[in-house]
Amino acid sequence: MNMFVLMKQTFDTEEKIRIHDGKIDEEGAKLVINPYDEYAVEEALRLRERHGGQVTAVTVGTERSSEALRTALAMGADEAVLIEEPAQADEGVLAKLLAAYLKGKPFDVLLGGHFSVDRGSGQVALRIAQLLDIPHVGAVTRLTVDPAGGTAVAVRDAEGDEVTVEASLPACFTAQQGLNEPRYPTLPGIMKAKKKPFSRISSAGLGLSDAQLAPDTEAISLSPPPPRQAGRLIDGDAAAKARELVRALREEAKLI
């Protein structure tokens, strides 16, 4: 059974984000595999342990993204692919690049994270599934695959409830928290990762035109949120407190 895992490198969730001249400053920052993508890598490895096959981790990014791919190799992935990220690429461009790479490649399962902790759009995997014309099931918390029967049964999180979905293979699944507990790379795994296949592909090498690589969205500005203000207590009886609260929400916070 062949499996591809969509990955992204993101800031460590405890890292302080710095913005200089309208851009995020990555200098010296700790970058890691997007936590939800880690669940996807782990699930692919568990499926391989049960059914055999191969796991390939793939990402679109800069050369620094190779760090995340090598972590996936150290966890146990068989191969890694780094696709060059064009300037100003948005989710639509990323999906086109990944779909162009995957098109024509035989696979049974495509796994990714439910969303990335930096941008949080949750678009890329869904767009790829549409471009490849394969089923998509998002926010998966349990996954059972039957390669011989060509089907998979996924239990997905639905805002506190659960929905069970059966899909024909090949299919795309995005991992929600709770799907599994990702393993840590071991020292032998890290050493073996250095010898595993690692491919680099230019965006031009995937046969997409300049028009296809043009983003549909543009980031106008990027700035940190305003400093959090201290709370204040409202004095008076209940009626006075209610009037003052409404006034503050309307005139100061502009929320009503």
pLDDT tens digit sequence for 35-77: 999 999 999 999 999 999 999 999 999 999 999 999 999 999 9
Taking each continuous run of H as one helix and of E as one strand, the counts in the chain are: 6, 13
The string of DSSP letters for 34-49 reads: -HHHHHHHHHHHHHHH
pLDDT digits (tens, 9 = 90+) for 137-195: 999 999 999 999 999 999 999 888 999 999 999 999 999 999 999 999 999 999 999 99
Q: For residues 77 and 83, give the distance between their C-alpha atoms in angstroms, rounded to a whole number.
A: 17
Q: For residues 85 and 29, give the distance between their C-alpha atoms in angstroms, rounded to a whole number.
A: 20
CA proximity to 166, closest of 185, 186, 146: 146
Enumerate residues 6+ apart whose C-beta is below 8 A from 15.
29, 30
CA proximity to 7, closest of 96, 98, 89: 98
User: Residue type at 146?
Assistant: D
Percentage of the chain modeled with pLDDT above 70: 100
pLDDT value at 253 more than 90? no
Q: Domain map of the chain by residue range?
A: 2-206, 228-256
Q: For residues 140 and 250, give the distance between their C-alpha atoms in angstroms, rounded to a whole number.
A: 41
Fold of 2-206: Rossmann fold (3.40.50)
